[in-house]
Amino acid sequence: SHVLTQPPSVSVAPGQTARITCGGNNFGSKSVHWYQQKPGQAPVLVVYDDSDRPSGIPERFSGSKSENTATLTISRVEAGDEADYYCQVWDSDHVLFGGGTKLTAL
């Protein structure tokens, strides 16, 4: 079965670019979605179908995908972007979440 691997933490200085990876075993045609979760809050969808943004999500959030790695890129990181980020795919009628990455703005 599919397993999604994320780095536990990523740290960047404010104003810099953060890249959070999600390693999979041949994403193929699977769509990758990304969620942001701030402390004490429910997750929020920030990127869907690999690279699309829901309305209301800043253009600073973008996504990309290769055969085995999906990447969430956050440009010009702000203090308010500090959160846990999770990737997610469908696999054979089941949902898989990555383990999550804690983004810290140093």
Partner 1 sequence: QVQLVQSGAEVKKPGASVKVSCKASGYTFTRYALHWVRQAPGQGLEWMGWVNAGTGYTKYSQKFQGRVTITRDTSASTAYMELSSLTAEDTAMFYCARESFSRNDHWGQGTLVTVSS
- The residue ranges that bind partner 1 (CB under 8 A) are 31, 33, 35, 37, 42-45, 48-49, 54, 84, 86, 88-90, 93-100
Residue 75 beta carbon to partner 1: minimum distance, rounded to whole angstroms? 22
- Whichever of 59 and 93 has its CB closer to partner 1, that residue is 93
- Whichever of 38 and 76 has its CB closer to partner 1, that residue is 38
For the chain, give me the number of helices (H) and strands (E)?
0, 9
- Whichever of 33 and 77 has its CB closer to partner 1, that residue is 33
Please report where in the chains the tokens 């890249």 appear, as a residue: 19
Residue 4 beta carbon to partner 1: minimum distance, rounded to whole angstroms? 10
Burial 19-34 (b: 16+ CB within 10 A, else e): ebebebeebeebebbb
Residue 13 beta carbon to partner 1: minimum distance, rounded to whole angstroms? 26
Contacts of 11 (CB under 8 A, 6+ apart): 103, 104, 105, 106
